[in-house]
Structure 1
Amino acid sequence: MNHTPALSLAKLRDQLVDQIAAGRALPGSVERAMRTVARDQHLPGLDPAKAYTDEAVSIKDNPGGPLPLSLASVPSIVAMMLAQLDAQPGDRVLEVGAGTGYNAALLAEIVGRDGKVTTVDIDSDVALHARAALNRTGYEDVTVIERDGLLGAPENAPYDRMIATVGLWDVPHTWWEQLAEGGRLVLPLRWRGQTRSVALIRRGDTLVCEGMELCGFVPIIGQDGERTAELADKTIRLHYDQDQQVDSGLLRDVFATPLVEVQSQARVGSEEPFDGIWLRATVTDDTVCRLEVTSEALETGVRRPAIPVRSPALVAGGSLAYLILEREDADPERPWRLGAAGYGPDGLHLARKLAEHIDAWSAARDAVPALTIRPAGADRDGLSEGRVIVKSESVLALSV
């Protein structure tokens, strides 16, 4: 049982929001909601002090896999996505992924009494947890539905705002039917192995992106557009999309070939992000994938990627190249030089190509590609100007 005084909990809550607001500008409505809603009440049994740290909390484990079935998201990511959503008083909002009910409570605060929040979750335990927490904290008007989130909630549509708190590989066709013209959809969308929280505005049969941020979420149940190839005695995994031409048989012995390295001109500081390389590369290159290298592979001498569990890689035939870091103390402010490691007969070519992607990113580090999305089967006029990625239910177009 929680015996922490309410005033102390409010102080902890304010300290967390102060920390988040120091890192990014928050809309007033989002900040007020986060200072009002008691996150600890949505995480019963957890030390309240931990409830007010900027960390994710697992609420249901997954016996069949490494990722939990449901998480209470990192509060700063919650704030970031709510800022992207830009919900207004009186809005009708659909949330996919009920979680603890905390995000739905924040949305209810933002849209007010004249608005309406509906949240859906495929897991009965999670939906029950959310319902109980919302009732306990005074948000009985939020509708909680146990349902496959890919179906949405047509009974309360159309929605002015829709938000997904689970990772999506594709935009379900049902969501198009439920989002109002001019409505805003925010979802963690995955392509070429990386996930971005994208804010999309509906303009007829087109979703136009108005911003994207790096994020990571538990994937939604029911979408299976990503494939995995296990290499080097299953100590290395390559993750790629179903439309990409990857032959795992050709890559079986790729890490037994000689290593080549190519350095770019780009340097970064120890706390400086470089994830934009991955994003920018997807605009011009269809060979971008995600490489996951285990500690066992590193112990056998495989070149360490920039981030072993998730680094961008280029794959063609029986060759690949991936992002690496090399420390050079000549520049104390930016001691890390970015480069590429290549394996296979075309490893040097791919490493040089990746180094070019790195240098292109470095020349405009804050540049964000344009993204538009249309339903599968819709007219593609105007999409040919960018890199087109075909998914099962939608088509993405990226351009610089």
Structure 2
Amino acid sequence: MTETDVDPDRAAELRGQMVDALVADGMIISAQVEAVMRTVPRHRFAPDASLDEAYAPYKAVFTKKDAHGVITSSVSAPQIQAMMLEQAEVAQGMRVLEIGSGGYNAALLAELVGEAGEVTTIDIDPDVTARAERLLADTGYARVQVVAGDAEDGVAASAPYDRILVTVGAWDIPPAWIAQLAPKGRLVVPLRIKGLTRSIAFDHAEDHLVGTSGQVCGFVPMQGAGRHQEQQVLVTGTGEIALRFDDGLPVEPSSLDNAVRTPRAESWTGVGVGRQEPFDTLQLFLATVLPGFCIMAVDPDLDTGLVSPSNKWFSMATVDDRSFAYLTTRPTADPQSVEFGVHAFGSGRAALAETVAAQVRAWDQEQRGGPGPRIEVHPVGTPDDQLPAGRVVDKRHSRVTLSWSAAPTADDQAVPHTPTAQGE
């Protein structure tokens, strides 16, 4: 689709409908974000998409894939961009760094900071930056500085930044991002913790970061020095059922071999959830209180029915010694809700099923409807006694802590940090 093929009135109409939908759904809450999303022509940054595709409120536009068909670049879905802009609270005159280029989001940022502000965008793929630079110039945003390079080092030449927005999935927070953030600056980043990605707004607090909000999201993963590959255990010896671990495998992954072929233990929690009700805090809660937390995925082409999760692609799971368990659901008398339950396999299946079920009940009683955990990022060498109470997730450059306002376990309600044998 070239610009000469576009009906400008139709584009404006669809852009207005997109913004109206995001305002109605609470994704856009400020007048500033609403104004810039009504102003910037999103379709100009997705020239290979139709107008309907470019302005679909909840769909990303994929702009590049690698030789294996894996998506490496995209124009993020409008609701994700609106959400992150609201988290960032960008104001006129600010200096902003965007990590992960595409053009459209940088144009939105340029509108928010105005002529007195500065926007720098960086991407590791020179094809992406060349495309972004061309599209920004064509749409009147040539003042945005486009840099080709590995964002692990940030862009020191234009630092410090009042805001840093990361628009690719990050497993860790490199020291350069914190060093280049202004003393009262804010970093908004889709951070992966135990396999769960949340867009978190972090405020700069001396030598560490303090999270102020977290929202569920999904992004193309970071490339270059910041790339991180999760590891997996195939519990049947084939690719049918995979347990994915984000921070290293269990000490003896072979102990799970064929555990799934033992009789299944079940424990139903009595905790119901509406079919459209979000339960993202349950995911983070289980990742906090279950040391063996992982994600189970079932290959639909190889599925023989050995397991029956409610979501075959992404199910919360955990391992313990020679057993593993996963969360599932079953219908209730209310057609609009389901009940959480646990299926477990292996030699300790009954005990593990009840352990997980008990934690689901604890979430229901203590955390449901709450704000979720307080998430902080501290330098990698920070001693344990200088970290807040809670779960510690160690990464290459940082120590991420998750602290809940109510105690999650019986003995001081905090799961101590347990290093894995094959982690970072």
Question: The TM-score by the shorter chain falls in which range?
Answer: over 0.9
Alignment TM-score, normalising by the size of structure 1: 0.95
After TM superposition, give the deviation of residue 246 of structure 1 in Å.
4.7
Q: Does 1:226 pair with 2:230?
A: yes
Map of 1:37 onto structure 2: 40
Q: Does 1:289 pair with 2:290?
A: no
What is the CA–CA distance in structure 2 between the aligned matches of 1:5 and 1:129, rounded to whole Å?
Answer: 23
What is the CA–CA distance in structure 1 between the aligned matches of 2:166 and 2:362, rounded to whole Å?
Answer: 32
Map of 1:50 onto structure 2: 53
The question of whether the paired residues in 1 share the 8 Å contact of 2:388 and 2:403 is answered with: no
The question of whether the paired residues in 1 share the 8 Å contact of 2:317 and 2:324 is answered with: yes
Map of 1:269 onto structure 2: 274
After TM superposition, give the deviation of residue 362 of structure 1 in Å.
2.3
Structure 2: segments with no counterpart, 5+ residues:
405-424
Q: Does 1:110 pair with 2:80?
A: no
The question of whether the paired residues in 2 share the 8 Å contact of 1:246 and 1:315 is answered with: no
Cα deviations by residue, 1:81-104 (Å, 9 ceiling, x for unpaired): 1111111111110011002x1000
The question of whether the paired residues in 1 share the 8 Å contact of 2:327 and 2:343 is answered with: yes
Map of 2:13 onto structure 1: 11
- Of 295, 303, 312, the residue aligned with 2:316 is 312
Cα deviations by residue, 1:82-131 (Å, 9 ceiling, x for unpaired): 111111111110011002x1000000000111110000000011111111
Taking only aligned residues, the RMSD between alpha carbons, in angstroms, comes to 1.6
Q: Which moved more, 1:71-80 or 1:372-381?
A: 372-381
The question of whether the paired residues in 2 share the 8 Å contact of 1:228 and 1:238 is answered with: yes
What is the CA–CA distance in structure 2 between the aligned matches of 1:30 and 1:201, rounded to whole Å?
Answer: 20
Q: Which moved more, 1:9-18 or 1:274-283?
A: 274-283
Q: Which moved more, 1:353-362 or 1:18-27?
A: 353-362
What is the CA–CA distance in structure 2 between the aligned matches of 1:44 and 1:53, rounded to whole Å?
Answer: 14
After TM superposition, give the deviation of residue 162 of structure 1 in Å.
0.3
Q: Does 1:78 pair with 2:98?
A: no
After TM superposition, give the deviation of residue 384 of structure 1 in Å.
4.6
The question of whether the paired residues in 1 share the 8 Å contact of 2:239 and 2:299 is answered with: no
Q: Which moved more, 1:278-287 or 1:87-96?
A: 278-287
Cα deviations by residue, 1:210-233 (Å, 9 ceiling, x for unpaired): 000111111101322632223321
Q: Does 1:372 pair with 2:393?
A: no
- Of 255, 266, 283, the residue aligned with 1:250 is 255
Q: In structure 1, what residue type is equivalent to 2:308?
A: R
Moved over 6 A (4+): none
After TM superposition, give the deviation of residue 283 of structure 1 in Å.
2.5
Cα distance change on mapping 1:189 and 1:316 into 2, 3 Å: same
Cα deviations by residue, 1:370-400 (Å, 9 ceiling, x for unpaired): 1111111135444151111111100011111
What is the CA–CA distance in structure 2 between the aligned matches of 1:302 and 1:274, rounded to whole Å?
Answer: 26
- Of 133, 136, 161, the residue aligned with 2:135 is 133
Identity of aligned residues (%): 38
Q: Does 1:163 pair with 2:165?
A: yes
Q: In structure 1, what residue type is equivalent to 2:387?
A: L
The question of whether the paired residues in 1 share the 8 Å contact of 2:208 and 2:378 is answered with: yes
Cα deviations by residue, 1:2-34 (Å, 9 ceiling, x for unpaired): 433212211100100111111114211111110
What is the CA–CA distance in structure 2 between the aligned matches of 1:151 and 1:158, rounded to whole Å?
Answer: 13
What is the CA–CA distance in structure 2 between the aligned matches of 1:163 and 1:380, rounded to whole Å?
Answer: 29
